[in-house]
Chain A
Amino acid sequence: MAEISDLATDESNLIKALQLEQRQEGYISDEAIKSISEHFDMAPVEVEGVVSFYTQFKRVKPGDYQIQVCDGTACHIKGSSLVLGWISDELGIEPGETDEEGVFSLEAVACLGCCSLAPVVSINGKVYGNLTREKIMDILDDYREREAAK
């Protein structure tokens, strides 16, 4: 994988650098902001400004399994707020949070583009569609077992 230090220091590469960092570390740490700002010869606050603007960038370390509940229009119409509530109740965390063990993190996202399977969630990039409460509980159990088997 490419390294940030290989990127040209042209400012137009800033978002790319942040995406690389997030792909490698899962989030943008304070240290990363500092080192990236040095690479591009910018103030850390300017980098922070870009990070906070885009929803893709996370400033907190996510769990091993990142659950994204699609809240695009089609999913919303098909009850995504209920889906989000069920998962939130089951895991005891609110959207935007990670559980204490660092296993699951939960967030609501705009459209995943799988509208015909609404409502959908994506866990570490794998999409589960046509969800019911029962299906979701089975899926969560499945991930818990996987975690326990580690």
Chain B
Amino acid sequence: MIERIKVGMASCGIAAGASEVKEKISDVAPEENLVEVGCIGHCYAEPLVEIETEDGNYIYEEVEPEEEFIEKMLNLEEFSRFEAPSVRTEWEEDYVTELAGKIEPNSLPEYREHGGYDALEKALKMDPSGVVEEVKTSGLRGRGGGGFPTGMKWDFLSSKEEEEKVLICNADEGDPGAFMDRTLMESLPHQVLEGMLIGAHATGASELFIYCRAEYPLAVRRLNMAIDRIEAEGLNVLNGREINITVKEGAGAFVCGEETAMIHSLEGKRGNPRYRPPYPTDEGFKGRPTLINNVETFSNIPLILREGGESFASVGTENSTGTKLFALAGDLEYTGLVEVPMGISIHDVVYGIGGAEEGSVKAVQIGGPSGGCIPEEHFDTPVDYDSLNDLGAIMGSGGLIVISKGRCMVETARYFLDFTTEESCGKCTFCRVGTKRMLEKLERITGGEGTEKDVEDLEDLSHKIINGSLCGLGQTAPNPVLTTLDYFRDEYLNHVEEDYCPALECGALVEIYLDDETCIECGNCIDSCPVDAISDDFEIDDEACTRCNSCIEVCPVDAISRVKKGGKVDVQS
């Protein structure tokens, strides 16, 4: 007997076609109890449907919005069943995300059934300073990237005498390739809000903001629904003190992840950072003492209060306690959201949980545009704040991109500099002009016109930008270049000395080669070429060719490939 049907409808599920699936299920079985849930983290298997029955739950993967598929599924037939890969269950630690994808995001009763708002109730019976102490005991550090101890920050704000204090949840997940916070907000909005309310009690803040990326409309909607519900139930009244909670949508500026820039943006201004001190806890939003924590940080709080700071600190390493969420993507098998105990090795994340093919990986990029590329020889490094810093990378918010041997590291560095150049707010000269100059040099190198001097200049400029920038954006912008220079210098030198891109990715350093012997003269390539660079007798006009790969994609016999400019060489796969 089916009790309930749950469709995974976070953004990733919807993008994979979950809305169509849900619609079809309600057509086929209108009498069933059909609900939307968040994300269970296994994005590669979406759309996912879980059927709850008296005898247990069954999860189906890659569900198709076809009547036949749905009917077989509703008969609980054994096909397309989803089972989490054993490596993932072995290494993962469901803690912060325990309820994600299992409960209805906007059902307050269901959240309560699973212990929701118990922590807030417990906190309200405690002295605010006791709550701060508990968070300090837990050793929780900011999950947004910086890794500042959360309890200390809370202490700063709670010690302020001012009446009006502000608490902000940083949900401006601007790091391209990261979607941890989105998943939490879409799957567990009440958990985020419970963490914030506990923070409001501990620090005495009365005005709460969630600064959320405008690109996350579903998260904004679910948060607003949850806030309405909280207000209807009076949960926002903490021991007689009424708390205001507002969701503010950002407008697309990476720099707004920086605290002072975010505060300016909330005030309706351009998101320029400013010099600190004064720190936001002294002078923040409209001059009031203000504290900013990240979504994942707040999501940890209810668990710390419920289970105690000491129990929290027993997971992870001494200086990096608890778990961390990572958005795994790139060249690996099991992309998605994973939660691991701090201290796990990069190797176990990439090959164990991610299922990447052993030997296929060149590096991981961790921490986004502020982070660095870590080469395979350092994969035994534990994932904790300090070890990653030692390698020149940062924990960052949790984007972890696996880069295979077929990718060019100079191009990867160029990509990140292109991003930071675009996102630099323009206030500091070194960041504004320096990143631009670095980008130009990287473009010269990937464009086949670079010199050794360019490589040297990159290093020199990097240190100047780090020292000459006011905020975290500029101070970390050179990291992707510095780490690739450190670990993949040979690739830079291949480009500038031999006009050779080992990964055959840089268009100016490759040409398109058509192997006459393999070619079956089907003409697909000629039809697909947007610039008519292939003649009727299958000669490629190198001048006209834009290296768009269209012909390679359409060739049915793989007769066309990229080769080193000036001659066919063996291609590194």
Contact = CB atoms under 8 A, between A and B. Distances in A.
B321 interface: no
B329 A74 contact: yes
Contacts of A38: none
Contact of A85 (B216, B266, B286, B546): B546
Interface residues of B, number: 61
Given A54-B251, A74-B177, A129-B16, A113 B268 contact: no
Contacts of A144: none
A106 to B, nearest CB: 14
B177 A73 contact: yes
A130 to B, nearest CB: 9
B448 to A, nearest CB: 17
Contact of B401 (A74, A82, A114): A74
B530 A90 contact: yes
A79 B331 CA distance: 11
A2 B280 CA distance: 32
A15 B268 contact: yes
Contacts of B330: 73-74, 77-78, 118
B548 A18 contact: no
Interface stretch (B7-15, B82-90, B154-162): B7-15
B252 A114 contact: no
Interface stretch (B307-315, B385-393, B549-557): B549-557
Contacts of A117: 12, 15-16, 43
A73 B329 contact: yes
A110 B419 contact: yes
Interface in A95-150: 109-118, 120, 125, 127-129, 132-134
B267 interface: yes
Interface string B96-129: 0000000000000000000000000000000000
A62 interface: no
A73 B16 contact: no
Nearest to B269: A50
Interface string B497-536: 0000000000000000000000000000000101100000
A50 B268 contact: yes
A13 interface: yes
A86 B216 CA distance: 27
B179 A113 contact: yes
B254 interface: yes
A1 B37 CA distance: 27
A72 B175 CA distance: 8
Contact of A113 (B216, B286, B365): B216
A113 B251 contact: no
Contacts of B16: 117, 129
A19 B247 CA distance: 14
Given A72-B177, A116-B46, A116-B336, A53 B550 contact: no
Contacts of B530: 86, 89-90
Nearest to B415: A76
B438 interface: no
Interface string A1-40: 0000000001111111011000000000000000000000
B251 A57 contact: yes
B176 A116 contact: no
A89 B268 contact: no
Top 4 closest A-B pairs, CB basis?
A73-B177, A116-B43, A72-B176, A54-B251
Interface of B: 11-12, 14-16, 43-44, 46, 173-179, 182, 214-217, 248-254, 265-271, 286, 327, 329-331, 335-336, 365, 368, 399, 401, 403, 407, 412, 415-416, 419, 425, 528, 530-531, 546, 548-550, 553-554
